[in-house]
């Protein structure tokens, strides 16, 4: 078997291990692991088997084959609060997801990728670019005024792969990759917040539309995606007349229910549109904090918007006689990892 050194790196990152931890598990040194991963030295067959056991993958996982898809341009949320290992692990899930998608695309017709591009300079600090990009994107994708009924379904219907991050990578809020042939968006469901996840989805859509050539992680770029999401979910033309100039909680609660955005997002929108003054906004956010509403806002909970495209694709494939074990084998991922990425309904 031809040993692919990059597949070893992928498996180690998938399990969130440092080189010294893997070395300890297989009875070798971190330097040896580094040589295996760099392709300087090929591990002996017994070592390959121990690596497979330690990483919870079949030996065939290390077999060379399809060229890896680069995740170098991924846009992460909460970049400062996550570790490199956590980001590497999340990206490793993205990598194996591309292998699963590649197999499924040979068997079923997924929606055509149909996203507009409206590049905004990563140096534009306070200009109208993000809001204009959001208005044009809404016109291209939504074709109606008012609230967006289901953001995840909208992304999937335009060919975006949307996946929920496994809990192992739960400190990563969300990230997106404009990867070929399909863009991908990953969510973190850990906080179980319907309104936050919808805003995350719109934020990542902003990256896909505006930032194909921007350096990921820059504060200005993240702020642009934030402003895109605000205009995309709460268009100025539709919502400006409804927002209060003062923190009218009952009214904000009604707007939250109808627009599918949090009260915090509504306050932010009222401030950025100049409807609410800066001092009033600050007082309102302080009130949110003192009431414990920054952690959990009042009102009934809602189930998260869940992606279904890949789940439906797997159901179609299974109905035609190709079970999940075979899909996992062809994608060279474990069945457990496939089920984590694409759970059954």
Dist. CA 133–CA 63, nearest whole Å: 43
User: Mean pLDDT in runs of 10 for the chain (345 residues)?
Assistant: 88 93 94 94 94 93 72 66 82 89 94 93 89 96 92 96 79 77 84 88 94 78 94 96 95 95 96 96 95 88 93 96 94 92 90
* Interstrand relation of 75-76 and 174-177 (parallel, antiparallel or unpaired): antiparallel
Predicted pLDDT at 104: 95
Dist. CA 245–CA 248, nearest whole Å: 8
Q: How many residues make up the chain in this entry? A: 345
Residues 6+ apart with CB under 8 A from 18: 30, 85
Predicted pLDDT at 335: 94
Candidates 206, 18, 222, 6; CA nearest to 95 is 6
DSSP 81: G
Predicted pLDDT at 267: 96
Predicted pLDDT at 243: 96
Dist. CA 16–CA 7, nearest whole Å: 14
Question: Which SS3 state, helix, strand or coil, does residue 3 take?
Answer: strand
Which residue is listed with tokens 């690596």?
Answer: 51
**Structural domains for the chain:** 1-65 (1.10.260.40), 70-233+307-344 (no CATH), 238-303 (no CATH)
Predicted pLDDT at 86: 84
């Amino acid at each position: 078997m031809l040993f692919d050194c990059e597949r070893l790196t992928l498996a180690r990152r998938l399990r969130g291990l440092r080189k010294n931890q893997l070395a300890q598990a297989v009875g070798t040194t971190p330097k040896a692991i580094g040589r295996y991963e760099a392709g300087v030295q090929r591990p002996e067959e017994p070592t390959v088997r121990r690596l497979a056991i330690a990483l919870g993958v079949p030996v065939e996982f290390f077999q060379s084959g399809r060229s890896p898809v680069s995740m170098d341009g991924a846009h992460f949320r909460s970049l400062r609060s996550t570790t490199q290992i956590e980001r590497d692990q999340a990206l490793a899930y993205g990598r194996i997801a591309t292998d699963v998608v590649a197999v499924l695309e040979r068997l079923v017709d997924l929606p055509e990728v149909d996203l507009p591009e409206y590049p905004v300079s990563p140096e534009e600090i306070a200009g109208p670019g993000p809001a204009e990009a959001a208005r044009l994107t809404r016109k291209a994708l939504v074709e109606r005024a008012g609230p967006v009924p289901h953001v995840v379904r909208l992304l999937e219907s335009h060919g975006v792969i949307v996946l929920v991050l496994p809990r192992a990578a739960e400190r990563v809020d969300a990230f997106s990759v404009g990867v070929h042939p399909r863009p991908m968006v990953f969510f973190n469901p850990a906080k179980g917040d319907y309104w936050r996840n919808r805003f995350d989805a719109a934020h990542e859509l902003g990256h896909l539309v505006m930032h194909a050539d921007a350096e990921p992680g820059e504060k200005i770029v993240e702020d642009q995606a934030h402003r895109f999401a605000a205009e995309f979910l709460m268009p100025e033309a539709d919502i400006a007349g409804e927002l209060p100039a003062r923190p009218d909680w009952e009214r904000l609660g009604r707007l939250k229910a109808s627009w599918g955005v949090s009260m915090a997002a509504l306050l932010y929108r009222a401030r950025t549109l100049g409807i609410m003054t800066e001092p009033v906004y600050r007082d309102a956010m302080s009130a949110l904090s003192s009431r414990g509403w920054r952690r959990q806002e009042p009102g009934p909970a809602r189930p998260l918007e869940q992606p279904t495209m890949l789940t439906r694709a797997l159901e179609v494939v299974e109905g035609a006689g190709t079970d999940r074990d075979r899909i996992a084998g062809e994608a060279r991922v474990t069945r457990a990892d496939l089920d984590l990425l694409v759970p059954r309904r």
